[in-house]
Structure 1
Amino acid sequence: MSEEAKDLDGLSGIFDISQFLNKLIKLWWFFLLCLIIGLSYAYYKNQFIQTYYSASSLISIKDNTNPLFTSNQSLTFNWGGTTDKVTTVITKFKSRTHAERVVDELQFYINYIQEGEYFNIDAYKATPFFIYADTARAQIYGKNVRIKVLDQDSFELSASFSEETSLAYDYANKVHEQVKTPVGEWSQQFKFGDSIQLPFLNVVIEKTSENIQTGQWLFNFGNYWATVNNYKGIRIMQKPEGSSILELSLSGTNKARLIDYINTSSIVLETEELELKNKFATATIQYIDSSLVAQIKSVKAAEDDLEDFKGKTTLLDAQEQSTDLNLRLTDYEKQETGIKRQLDYYENLENYLKNKSDYTLIQAPSIVGIEESSIGGAVARLVSLSEERKKREFSMRADAPVFQQIDRDINTVKEVIFENIRSSKSLLNRDLNDLYSKINRIESEIKKLPKEQQAFLRKQRQLEIEQDAFNIFKAKKAEAELVKAANVSDVFVIDKARDTGGGGSRRDGNINYLIALLMAVALPVGLAFFLTLLDNYLHVPKDLERMSNVPLIGVIGKMNHPSNLVVNDQPKSTIAEAFRGIRSSLHFMYKGEASHGCRTIMVTSSVSGEGKTFMSINLATVYAMSGKRTLLIGLDLRKPKIFDDFGIENTLGVSNYLVNDASLEQVIHNTRVDNLDLILSGPVPPNPSELILSERAGNMIEELKKSYDYIILDTPPLGLVADALEIAKHADASLYMVRQGYTKKGMIEVINDKYSKNEIENVSFVFNYYDDRGKYGYGYGYGYGYGYGYGAYGNGYHVNKIKKPWYKKNTGLYASRSVNKKEQQ
């Protein structure tokens, strides 16, 4: 045998491929059923395939520095490089907070529905109306409300409620509530543009055009967080990769929703970025505004005080006296005020840095006239680092190493600022002391003037100082407002999302048909594979060759017949020829010389129902028809069968003889088959094993050998009782019956064990009830006898039953007769 043949034989021993293929062929109806069901389901599923659209826009992320101011003067600072900005913007686009802002802006939690034949369609912007929800009040949640447009001015809302209260949602505070609802069917008419204020619904419904179409639609308020999470999946690509040009894209079933979300998303982020850039200028303006309010009061108070003094004094032309002294003193006091303002700024800045952690709200030093580059640059650097830290919080964990580095840089800058503050305060205090000396000298000269003149000059100086401070604040505010007005967002829309008229795409429905076809194939294949693995029965003679060393002497074909006397009733059938072949093969198995010129053949099996009686009767008939004196003995004392086929009462037989209740002559019966005698098993005894194992049983067989040429022993199943082993001692050959689709593979181990231990000799298998008509793909060319009950080889040599075609079984084309068909047992 070649290596390839050995491999195939080994594989077949593990898994019977031919049996698997046969089972698969038999499951053709299951394949057809699966195919019909699968294709029907695929067709049904294809009706739900929706068209998907895509929308996209292009935006640019640039570091747009305010061109009106230098780094020393500007109220804005460079928050980071372009790469950092791009990363931050991408992270913001994908953030939940950003999606919330866009969803809130567009009120995307309102679902517009057009009813379809197989599924509902998202009718956003396809309806002749638009719904504006009052987010200050809760809206009924997840409940479809029908809107029927009646005419150009009015519509009807309707819904069905089963309970007095229903679940609602507060979209402003993001919490669920319970609202009252009318039980049963509800409907009410409204005008377009009216404010609808109901316990469960608070909206304004506007028509989208002057001439609108009538019809019916549905709308509902859906899951807010599900909507937000759905749009968090916006796709962002850098074009080219690593650049600051971003492509935003979304796909979905409603093109208008996609376009609105992408464009509004860009607007929201553009506005947010501009507000962030203006944050420093806005904080500065707010600080100046609060200072201006106090300064205006101070100016007004100084003016009122001077006017009041003028009204009370009799001093004439006091303003012209000592003009030089007053101008000089006024200038010194203005300088004093400026120095004190700077000292206050340093004091406040020092306290802020010690007690606060968010440094993005620090006002610019230039507000109070500090033009020192070291202070301005350090403050700008500190604000930049603080803003960078806040930006990275969007995309990084709190324990990321980058935050530790930024915090170290911030602390370093703070130390530099503290050192500059100490140095600057020291210089300012020195300058202030010099001013005090100059002021004191001029005041000593002014004290020489009359009291009224001194008071007038003092009040006049105070007014000028307050007015000068007011003018400085106004100038600084104008500067901050100019900076704010000149700022532009770092997010610039290059190409807005737009409906260009392109069609959408549908998922290929053929994939569903392909899946259906694959499932229609896979299920029968899987079932056939599973059944083959679980099939523990013998199906073909070749199974015996693989599983046992016991030779196979013949194959008996399947045939339905009213009785077991097939050979006698149809001597020219292929079944009869099979038994003749087995008769011929038995000549090679006889051991030694025939005792008294008689050959004894034992027929047994693993269990009942495998064809022992059928084999015994027909083998005995074959020998008898050949002119041999043949005796058939029924030794299955537990389950007698032979008597029924020969029409003899089982009242006297082996059991009677073994208990010495009858002689051999009395238990031997003649049959209607020439040369064939019969000894029945007789009544069932209470101790069959003891009787079979008795010496009298052996003597009986030896005695009968003197009168017959062949004795056929129909014994109990070897796999169930041990009687057959004792009988085998008196047999020249043993036939072990195996029935197709009935005998289990595990049963063969019984005879294998007996055969290997030499407990039974000269034993051969007979494969019974075999139907090879395409069942397992085997074509046998055995040299032993075989026969098939449906014309295996007729051609005029044998007479066989004609098998009625399946399509004519119930027609009158073939004569039918009712018979009591018996299995080959």
Structure 2
Amino acid sequence: MSDEFEIKNLQPTFDIKGFLYKLVSYWPLFLVTLSIGLGIAYYFNVRKLPVYSIDNLISIKDDQNPFFTSNTSLTFNWGGTTDKVNTALIILNSRTHNEEVVDALKYYISYKSQGEYQKINAYKRTPFLVDVDTAKMQLLGHDLTVVFKDSVRFELSYFQELDGDLSFQKFDGLKEKTSKFVPAQDFKKEFRLGEKINTPLFTGTLLPNENVIVVPGKPYFFSFIDFDNAVYNHSKLSVRPNKAGSSVLSLTKTGANKAELVDYLNNSVNILGRNMLERKNLFATKTIRFIDSSLTQKSKELSGVEDELNKFKDKNAVLSLDEESIELKEKLGVLDIRKEDVVRELNYYTTLKEYLNNRSDYRQIPAPSVAGINEESVVAAVSRIVTKAEERNRLQYSYKEGSVVFNEIDRDIDATKQVLLENINSSEGLLNRELSNIQREINKVEYQTKKLPKAQQELIKIVRKYDISQETYNMFLAKLSEAKLVKAANVSDVLIIDEAKDTGGGKIGPNTRMNYIIAVLLGLLLPLLFVFLLTLLNTKIQNVKEIEHLSKIPILGAIGKSYDKDNLAVLNKPKSSIAEAFRSLRSSLQYIYKENDINGAKTLLITSSISGEGKTFCSINIASVFALSGKKTLLLGLDLRKPKIFGDFNIENDIGVVNYLIRDADLESVIQKTAIDSLDVIVSGPIPPNPSELLMGDRMAEMIEQLKKQYDYIILDSPPLGLVADSLDLMKFSDANLYVVRQNYTRKGMFQMINEKYKRGEVKNISFVLNYFESKAKYGYGYGYGYGYGYGVDSNGYHENDNKPGLIKRILNTFRKG
């Protein structure tokens, strides 16, 4: 037997079927948690403000200027549609862009009205609009209350309970903030719409909103939000391409006020389009500015030469050039124009080199076309450098200096700059050689003019200066017209396909259905986890299956839970299911005796792990069923440390086993009669100082031998085996042994001790009895095992119903059980 025996008490088990039965038994807990969860969901659902989603649709296109030619080079090159789309995506989510939108819409002002449960967003729903004095400090984060008395007059009020420092901010340029001490106050004052309001907390004017009717007596509120916080709150804009690789962008924004969302989306797109157009006109704008300054200078120069020419004509009789002089002047004019063009190009290259070598901001470089330079490599390089410089300037509001994105841009600018400087050096060499050739030609013609009369020579010089100035002035005028034409013809690359608009829908929250679903899931999950943990962490025996798993020792039967005040369950209710369970045990024991060829008097020892598992209860009732069957039965109380059985039979514990073992009484004097003719009892008697030694002595063996001659059955009510070794010593007197296990009381770890003793052969002919068993689902099973599992059920009239006592009686009975 020992070779086949396995100790399995430490192995984890989880009974799915039992767990499901237990879940069902906790249905009130599920009902409570579901009710609480649904109640909380309802509370939040009725108080949550609606959430809306508004969107618009734009396209980022690549519209080329119809007046753009290869000779103008005044249109800012963005790098194609793809680069424009990526740039637009970055800009729309950038802090700088959203600062512009918030500032333009004055979204740092919050309008509110009183809702059913809380204040709600009342943007465009108040009968007034706040015209704030941005140069004055305004109170942040505290509501100012407006209550109209009629269509024009209103009362402005503010209540502060305690003294304290409050935050203030200006909403002009730098958005300066400060903190001021404000004493406790209850401010109230009457004003009129359009009247200037100048208080320490607010400076501005309330203007009428013609779209909202005034409701006298209804409170409205407005407050100022920290500008940075307002930008952060409103910059949560979802921008995504309509489909992969598409230049169509979808802008979506969510919030509690549809009008606020519509205005933000549309203004965001308008500001984006305006800024993109400004960047597209960057070269043209800078060129116009450069040409305007150059024209002023050339105009003065031309006026001076014209005065000089007039003075010369007034002093000299020569009013015009002769034929030879005209021919020489025309040759010199052509050469002078060529020279002027070359010098202008060289001057541009000198300026460009100064920008590239000595400056870090390349955004102010004028277009090469201003100097008449149309070389593609130079134009492309300058355009790229300016583009990257603009991109770097734009990103500095979103990234810290030294970040990777700046390093990449700087490397690109440096690489382009090196190539451009090489091109400039090459072009300068060609231009200088061309300038030398032109100068030699001019020198030849000038040598011929020296043969002319002195007056003709002077007149040619003055006319040459005038022609050069006039030609340069006309050239700049032409460039100015060209630049203005290019700028005027440019259109924004942002095309609005669908404006944001309140079409009556757009509500996306609160998701009340989801809240209820979450409430139901949590209402089911929490008690489920509770029951699961309760089951997982429970170390006490719950059902027969657990005993079968923990030990190889057979289970002889199960006894139902008794609600009687004493232990005489069989005698008090002989037709009860408990009584029938004990009769079943009697039959099983008789079978054991027969299998072991035990004839004559038969002994049965009853023990358990610890006190309180019902060992005495089982001893009394097993003895009772044997006695009721007509067999002469003796109940022997051997728990000398904690005697109990005397109280149930209304007998005294003055004399018993201890008296016999110490030779203080004979056997006949310690045997006491009970109400049942066939049942006698020997109580334990006075508590001795050495119970173990008494039970191990020869006197104990003599007593058992004498009793076997007088009785058919001897029931030994022994001490708990898990606490003392007395029961182990007494087993040499027993033909069969019952080990009582109490449901939801006996710990699973206690089986290790009995398993070890059973494996080593120290205990034999032992069986388990599951006591105090309730066939409720919370213990894992709803079906029976033996007769005891039918406890509490009418069983078609075979058993008496056991009425469950009230809670107080059950608590009292618990302390009476053995």
TM-score normalised to the size of structure 1?
Answer: 0.86
- Three-state SS of the structure 1 residue aligned to 2:502 is coil
Separation in structure 2 between the aligned mates of residue 511 and residue 198 of structure 1, nearest angstrom: 47
Equivalences for 1:324-723 in 2 at 5 Å? Answer: 325=325, 332=332, 335=337, 340-356=343-359, 359-368=362-371, 370=372, 373-374=374-375, 377-390=376-389, 397-398=404-405, 407-439=414-446, 441-442=448-449, 445=452, 448=454, 466=469, 469-502=472-505, 504-590=507-593, 597-723=600-726
Displacement, 1:720? Answer: 0.9
| Equivalent position amino acid for 1:422 in 2 | G
Displacement, 1:287? Answer: 1.9
Is the Cα–Cα contact under 8 Å of residues 382 and 414 in structure 1 kept in the other structure? no
Q: Which residue of 2 aligns with 1:4?
A: none
Q: Which residue of 2 aligns with 1:159?
A: 158
Separation in structure 1 between the aligned mates of residue 156 and residue 111 of structure 2, nearest angstrom: 14
Cα gap change, 1:195 to 1:277, in 2 (>3 Å):
farther
- Three-state SS of the structure 2 residue aligned to 1:645 is coil
Cα deviation 1:592-639 (Å, max 9, x = unaligned): 6668x4222211111112222222223223333444333222111110
Displacement, 1:108? Answer: 1.6
Displacement, 1:17? Answer: 3.4
Is the Cα–Cα contact under 8 Å of residues 783 and 789 in structure 2 kept in the other structure? no
- Three-state SS of the structure 2 residue aligned to 1:15 is coil
Is the Cα–Cα contact under 8 Å of residues 330 and 465 in structure 1 kept in the other structure? no
Q: Which residue of 2 aligns with 1:6?
A: none
Q: Percent identity?
A: 42
Separation in structure 1 between the aligned mates of residue 789 and residue 499 of structure 2, nearest angstrom: 86
One of 723, 728, 739 as aligned partner of 2:742? 739
Larger deviation, residues 64-73 vs 279-288? 64-73
Q: Which residue of 2 aligns with 1:207?
A: 208
Is the Cα–Cα contact under 8 Å of residues 140 and 224 in structure 2 kept in the other structure? yes
Task: Note the residue ranges of structure 2 that are not aligned, 5 or more in a row.
Answer: 1-8, 396-402
Larger deviation, residues 455-464 vs 141-150? 455-464
Separation in structure 1 between the aligned mates of residue 119 and residue 758 of structure 2, nearest angstrom: 75
Is the Cα–Cα contact under 8 Å of residues 576 and 787 in structure 1 kept in the other structure? no
CA RMSD in angstroms comes to: 3.8
Larger deviation, residues 59-68 vs 717-726? 59-68
Is the Cα–Cα contact under 8 Å of residues 238 and 246 in structure 1 kept in the other structure? yes
Cα gap change, 1:304 to 1:722, in 2 (>3 Å):
same
Q: Which residue of 2 aligns with 1:3?
A: none
One of 265, 272, 275 as aligned partner of 1:269? 272
| Equivalent position amino acid for 2:70 in 1 | S
Is the Cα–Cα contact under 8 Å of residues 368 and 374 in structure 2 kept in the other structure? no
1:235 aligns with 2:234: no
Cα gap change, 1:177 to 1:724, in 2 (>3 Å):
same
Cα gap change, 1:352 to 1:560, in 2 (>3 Å):
closer
| Equivalent position amino acid for 1:418 in 2 | N
Displacement, 1:653? Answer: 2.2
Separation in structure 1 between the aligned mates of residue 539 and residue 482 of structure 2, nearest angstrom: 97
Which structure ranks higher in relative contact order (CA pairs < 8 Å, sequence separation ≥ 6)? 2
Separation in structure 1 between the aligned mates of residue 606 and residue 697 of structure 2, nearest angstrom: 20
| Equivalent position amino acid for 1:559 in 2 | S
Q: Which residue of 1 aligns with 2:6?
A: none
Separation in structure 2 between the aligned mates of residue 204 and residue 574 of structure 1, nearest angstrom: 90
Separation in structure 2 between the aligned mates of residue 567 and residue 62 of structure 1, nearest angstrom: 97
Q: Which residue of 2 aligns with 1:780?
A: 784
Cα gap change, 1:778 to 1:288, in 2 (>3 Å):
closer
Is the Cα–Cα contact under 8 Å of residues 71 and 77 in structure 1 kept in the other structure? no
Is the Cα–Cα contact under 8 Å of residues 556 and 769 in structure 1 kept in the other structure? yes
Q: Which residue of 1 aligns with 2:186?
A: 185
Larger deviation, residues 597-606 vs 656-665? 656-665
Separation in structure 2 between the aligned mates of residue 503 and residue 764 of structure 1, nearest angstrom: 73
Is the Cα–Cα contact under 8 Å of residues 49 and 509 in structure 1 kept in the other structure? no
Displacement, 1:707? Answer: 3.2
1:250 aligns with 2:249: no
Cα gap change, 1:790 to 1:237, in 2 (>3 Å):
closer
Cα gap change, 1:154 to 1:749, in 2 (>3 Å):
same
Cα gap change, 1:804 to 1:664, in 2 (>3 Å):
closer
- Three-state SS of the structure 1 residue aligned to 2:709 is coil
Larger deviation, residues 497-506 vs 159-168? 497-506
Displacement, 1:686? Answer: 1.8
Is the Cα–Cα contact under 8 Å of residues 329 and 460 in structure 2 kept in the other structure? no
Cα deviation 1:258-283 (Å, max 9, x = unaligned): 22122212221221122112221222
Cα gap change, 1:549 to 1:156, in 2 (>3 Å):
same
Task: Note the residue ranges of structure 1 that are not aligned, 5 or more in a row.
Answer: 1-9, 811-815
| Equivalent position amino acid for 2:616 in 1 | T
Cα gap change, 1:422 to 1:563, in 2 (>3 Å):
same
Separation in structure 1 between the aligned mates of residue 323 and residue 188 of structure 2, nearest angstrom: 87
Is the Cα–Cα contact under 8 Å of residues 450 and 457 in structure 2 kept in the other structure? no
Separation in structure 2 between the aligned mates of residue 641 and residue 186 of structure 1, nearest angstrom: 83
| Equivalent position amino acid for 1:163 in 2 | D
| Equivalent position amino acid for 1:382 in 2 | A
Separation in structure 1 between the aligned mates of residue 469 and residue 381 of structure 2, nearest angstrom: 33
Cα gap change, 1:91 to 1:599, in 2 (>3 Å):
same
- Three-state SS of the structure 2 residue aligned to 1:681 is coil
Displacement, 1:457? Answer: 7.8
One of 740, 743, 752 as aligned partner of 1:749? 752
Displacement, 1:326? Answer: 8.4
- Three-state SS of the structure 2 residue aligned to 1:641 is coil
Q: Which residue of 1 aligns with 2:19?
A: 20
Cα deviation 1:239-273 (Å, max 9, x = unaligned): 56534343433333322222212221222122112
- Three-state SS of the structure 2 residue aligned to 1:113 is strand
Cα deviation 1:398-441 (Å, max 9, x = unaligned): 37879756754553343223211220122023212432443355
| Equivalent position amino acid for 1:553 in 2 | L
Is the Cα–Cα contact under 8 Å of residues 771 and 788 in structure 1 kept in the other structure? no
Separation in structure 1 between the aligned mates of residue 676 and residue 498 of structure 2, nearest angstrom: 106
Separation in structure 2 between the aligned mates of residue 366 and residue 553 of structure 1, nearest angstrom: 110
Cα gap change, 1:748 to 1:292, in 2 (>3 Å):
same
Larger deviation, residues 598-607 vs 647-656? 647-656
Equivalences for 1:100-119 in 2 at 5 Å? Answer: 100-119=99-118
| Equivalent position amino acid for 1:615 in 2 | C
Separation in structure 2 between the aligned mates of residue 643 and residue 364 of structure 1, nearest angstrom: 118
Is the Cα–Cα contact under 8 Å of residues 65 and 78 in structure 1 kept in the other structure? no
| Equivalent position amino acid for 1:208 in 2 | N
- Three-state SS of the structure 1 residue aligned to 2:547 is helix
Separation in structure 2 between the aligned mates of residue 471 and residue 569 of structure 1, nearest angstrom: 131
Cα gap change, 1:594 to 1:249, in 2 (>3 Å):
closer
Cα gap change, 1:359 to 1:675, in 2 (>3 Å):
closer
Displacement, 1:69? Answer: 4.5
Cα gap change, 1:467 to 1:580, in 2 (>3 Å):
closer
